[in-house]
Every structure is written in structure tokens, then in C-alpha cells.
Amino acid sequence: MATWIDISQSLHADVAAWPGDVPFSRSTTLSIRDGDSVNCSALQMSAHLGTHADAPYHVDDAGATTSGWNLDTFLGPAEVVAIPPDAAIIRPEHLNETTAPRLLFKTVSSQHPATRWSDAFTAVSVEAVSWMQRHDVCLMGTDAPSVDPSDSTELAAHHALNSANIVNLENLRLGAVEPGRYTLVALPLRVPGADAAPVRAVLHPNPTMLPL
């Protein structure tokens, strides 16, 4: 019986990419059927496709890249928080009951298939970021494609998260997950110097598997 719950999106050609961004593709470079000794493929995708973590450098030329991450951030107690599907933006009042150092937001996006792009997603307010900073949150995640609205150029939530030293995960898959406390393992691939990296994110129902 599987106990770890996979909350990552599958990487395949049909997964919705940010408009104009590079979608996922996997091409065959060697094939046993064609006489090669192995099957081998090459992957191409935006670093922001599917479930991933943003580095500050994504929105700030002077910000830290993926090389600056502390892995402790991505491992430990977490809470899945239900955000009402009609919420325009995530606000501090949605977070009042939470106590975990890692918060994962289950929003209206959990009702949308990952294969269809929708700009009708719930972003994160700067006030919610301040609330998380005051409550010593080190990581937040969302099932939405971004923490800022799709038409934002200011990217206020991304910048506020960077100032607060809070890492964000985007494009989680939380449709089958009940709100509550879990242990999160969401290690990003080791891609030094980048603006983001793909993450395989999983939850364990026992919230005390790992230290804070």
C-alpha cells in the first residue's frame, strides 16, 4: 500500500505551459527497435512547467539562483489549507487557523485539469506573505500556475516572498488531498544557477516524520 501521496503534476506534452512558454517534449535519441543498444530520450521544457520551485532570480536579476536554496526548506512538516474556490486572492484571514512552517494552498485550480491553461486562478496577496513571514513560514506552495495574477507585470507576491525569504512551489496537484497536517518532501532537481527547478512533491499523512 502506498503511503506517500504524489502531489506533483505529470510531465507530458499535454501539460499546460504558461502562455508563450516552452511546453514539455520528450524526443527519442536512441532506439532498440532501430538497432541501438538502448532506448534513450532527451527532454525539453520551461523550468516553470509542471510542479516546480521558483528562485528569487526568476523575478530579480540580482536575486539568488537555485544554487542559494537550503534543502531543509523543502523537507518537513506542512499543512494543506483549503482556500474557498471563489476567493479572488489568498488573504491573511484564510491562514488564521494554520500553524505549520510550510503551507500548501488547495485552490480552485485543483478543480481544473493540468492539461488546460486557465488564467482564472487564485493568486497570493502581499498581506498573506507578510502574515507568513510573521509566523515563520519557510515555504508555501500552490496548485495554481503562479502566486501573482496572470496579467501582473509587477509580480508583487513573487517579490514579497523573496524579501521574506519564503520559497514558493507552483503547479502542485492537490485535488485528491484533504486539508490538514502532513510531512512534505519536495526536493528540487540540482540545476545550479537557474531561475527555477522541477520538483517531485510528496506528502506523508504522518506530520512528524521529519524535524521542523
Ligand X SMILES: N[C@@H](CC(=O)c1ccccc1NC=O)C(=O)O
Residues belonging to the active site: 58
Could you tell which of ligand X, Zn ion, none binds residue 18, using a CB distance below 5 to 8 A set by kind?
Answer: ligand X
Nearer to ligand X, 158 or 183 (CB): 158
Single-letter amino acid, residue 10 = S
The H or E element containing residue 163 is helix 156-163
Nearer to ligand X, 123 or 185 (CB): 123
Q: What's the rounded Cα separation, in Å, for the pair 164 and 134?
A: 9
Could you tell which of Zn ion, ligand X, none binds residue 73, using a CB distance below 5 to 8 A set by kind?
Answer: none
Per-residue interface string for the shown chain with ligand X, residues 140-179, x marking contact by CB under 6 A: ------x-----------------------x---------
Could you list the residues that contact Zn ion (CB under 5 A)? 48, 54, 146, 170, 196
The DSSP string of 97-144 is T---SEEEEE-GGGGS-TTS--S---EE-HHHHHHHHHTT--EEEESS
Among 21, 119, 136, 178, binds ligand X (CB under 6 A): 21
Q: Look at the alpha carbons of 50, 149, 168, 48 in this order and tell me if their dihedral is positive or negative.
A: positive
Q: Which residues bind ligand X (CB under 6 A)?
A: 18, 21, 46, 48, 54, 58, 146, 170
